[in-house]
Chain A
Amino acid sequence: MTRYLARRLAFAAFLVFAVSSASLILTRLGEGDYVSGSLGIEARRETAAQARARYGLDKSIGEQYRTWLGRAVRFDFGNSLLYDRPVRDLVPERAANTAILAASALAIATLVGLPLGVVAGSRRGVVSGAIRSTSIVVLSLPPLLTSLVLVFVAARTGWFPIAGIRSAAVAPGGETLDFLHHLILPACALALPLAAVFERLQAQSMGEVIGEPFVLAALARGVTRRRIVWRDALKPALRPVTAIYGLVIGTLLSGSFAVEVTTSWPGLGNLMLDALRARDVYLVAGCAGAGAVFLACGTLVSDVALAMVDPRARE
């Protein structure tokens, strides 16, 4: 087990480097660079050249990559061109915000989506149809639209703050509550499509498992319906969801950018978008690396959970 974990961790580290390098190179290959974006059209050629020299953008891709790699192995990921702060400080700060958002969204989605999926998969009729329709509505809406609808509702009702992570004036001691108050909207916006995905997968899988002979056998033995649904059939039915749970964790990070932009949540998604727009190569590499870290953790969690849930897959 420990060897397996060690191997996975080693690969995770390699993945982080691979993705950061790929992002750096791809962004350099793209048209335009930080200097052309920040100085605009009117800059003199000399000023632009000076700025490029200062940021190291005048070197060839290979050279810049080698310099970056040399520093990266010492955990120095360079200075963000956009914010002029070390990437090492900037990215974890924002990643923490996104992690909190993602964790709460995941919790909400699991708590809402899984039970609904079980209910929808184990019965027929209005309830199941209603749940299924709601899921499909949420799934077919683009995340941009979902978050916008929620922000709109928040604006109309005034129940939730519209944007940001913290209010300007907070009574001392009430900061956590204020933070939670701000967290609800983005977390729900992020959780809704996820809950729909979980619900659909769970319902599908549940429906299949209930068709298995062992369920009929249990019924014949007199086990109550409730116990069958929530205990015996649930465990094998959780298989597909646990398989993608880790993926979901990993992609929550990059997939959250629509929500973060609409609700001005200062997280990694927002940062990635700004970095891409500004062609800030070091920040882009840092953000991609952070995304890889999350994915690696996610897949690890997923594989471990899968092994726990389904003993057959344990080898």
Chain B
Amino acid sequence: MHENRVSRLGTALVAAALAASLGAPLLAPHRADQRFAGLLNAPPTRPRLVDADGSVHAPFIYGWRLSNRLEQRYEEDRSRRIPLEWWTGGAVVRSSDETSAPLLLLGADSFGRDVFSRLIFGGRTSLALAAVAALSAVILGGLLGGIAGYLGGTVDEGLMRATDFIMVLPATYVALALRAVLPLVLPAGVVFALLASIFALLGAPFIARGVRAIVRSERRLDYASAAQALGASDVRLLLLHLLPATRGFIAVELTMLVPAFIVAEATLSYVGLGFPDPVASWGTMLHDAANVSVFADFPWLLSPAAAMFLVVLGLNLLLQGPSFSRHVRLPM
């Protein structure tokens, strides 16, 4: 059926992202912070099977030769075929001449680092952070909103005002103050935990508001009073009956929070609360790529945006696909 195909596509995309992240050390030909000095903003090296003469070989690439350093223009060095090596050096595929003609599947960035490797390693960091933060936000916001919507009255008001306060306080100021009290060099794990908690706090109010609205109206429906009449406790009613009604809303919010958190990581790193330099992340990669010359001359630097799109699409299809199948289809 159409819906199953759609949700299966979503599952496939998300699974691919997960697999790439977990298998990053194997899949990536280089380390995330490995610089190739002469290859700043080099275009992607295309693996080929057929060379200029028309003869077929094992997959190979041509190296890049610098034709204009200041304008960062390169031309292919057709004189030398550089075959690819498989399953050597701890990676699935590599070029046989790593020092002068590395395999750059998605080109190199302005420091000369392999974009493909940074994409995979960065995906690990960013997706893990976004997933943890989004899930925490959902749990926190769902609980808050559920309780507020269920109990109503002063509790409702109090919780909603608290979420108002959190929402309006700009996160950058909090990050700024935090940076002052934290030690100078923060290990990546500490930064991860900090960012995840800040994002969870930032995302919870949106979830809480929507959940509260839905719970408030669902509460008056028949099935809720029926459950209550049967003796369900408040907690059971809330958790098992009312909150599941917010599933659709939460699914959509999740797919909106994930990209927002990935980007927010770059914003917070501006005030100093970001990952240390050798750690790649999609947010900072995109931030560095937000440059006019990139669009015209170095479009491969925008690959994190494409990757983010695929992941978010997959997430969206996965979370929203099944919900269609249960619906009455509008006959025409």
A interface with B by C-beta (< 8 Å):
11, 15, 18-19, 22-23, 25-27, 29-31, 122-124, 132-133, 136-137, 139-145, 148-149, 152, 197, 200-201, 204-205, 207-208, 210-212, 215-216, 219, 225, 228-229, 239-240, 242-244, 247, 250-251, 254, 272, 276, 284, 288, 291-292, 295-296, 299, 302, 306, 310, 312-313, 315
Contacts and interface: CB of A to CB of B under 8 A. Distances in A.
A135 to B, nearest CB: 9
Interface string B165-188: 101111011101101110000000
Interface string B252-296: 100110010011001000010000000000010011011110010
Contacts of B286: 142, 144-145
A306 B173 CA distance: 32
Contact of A295 (B167, B263, B323): B167
- Among B213, B255, B262, find the residue whose CB has the most chain A CB atoms closer than 10 A: B213
B129 to A, nearest CB: 15
B29 interface: no
Contact of B167 (A149, A247, A315): A247
B172 A250 contact: no
B165 A219 contact: no
B259 A240 contact: no
B7 interface: no
Given A137-B309, A145-B286, A26 B174 contact: yes
B251 interface: yes
B267 to A, nearest CB: 8
B169 A312 contact: no
A145 B305 contact: yes
Nearest to A229: B330
Given A136-B316, A143-B263, 7 more contacts: A25-B177, A27-B173, A132-B316, A139-B259, A149-B295, A211-B328, A240-B249
A242 B313 CA distance: 25
A197 B255 CA distance: 10
Contact of B164 (A123, A137, A208, A296): A296
Interface of B: 2, 152, 160-161, 164-165, 167-170, 172-174, 176-177, 179-181, 205-206, 209-210, 212-214, 216-217, 220, 248-249, 251-252, 255-256, 259, 262-263, 266, 271, 283, 286-287, 289-292, 295, 302, 305, 308-309, 311-313, 316, 320, 323-324, 326-332
Nearest to B149: A313
Contacts of A219: 330-331
A192 to B, nearest CB: 13
Contact of B320 (A133, A140, A204): A204
B303 to A, nearest CB: 12
Contacts of A272: 170
A200 B170 contact: no
- Among A11, A136, A140, A205, find the residue whose CB has the most chain B CB atoms closer than 10 A: A140
Given A140-B308, A140-B309, A205-B248, A26 B173 contact: yes
Contact of B213 (A124, A144, A313): A313
A139 B326 contact: no
A80 to B, nearest CB: 17
Contacts of A228: 330
Given A215-B328, A312-B220, A139 B256 contact: yes
A185 B38 CA distance: 39
A212 to B, nearest CB: 8
Contact of A313 (B169, B217, B292): B217
Contacts of B251: 204
A201 B316 CA distance: 12
A276 B256 contact: no
Contacts of B256: 139, 197, 200
A296 B58 CA distance: 65
B330 A225 contact: yes
B180 A29 contact: yes
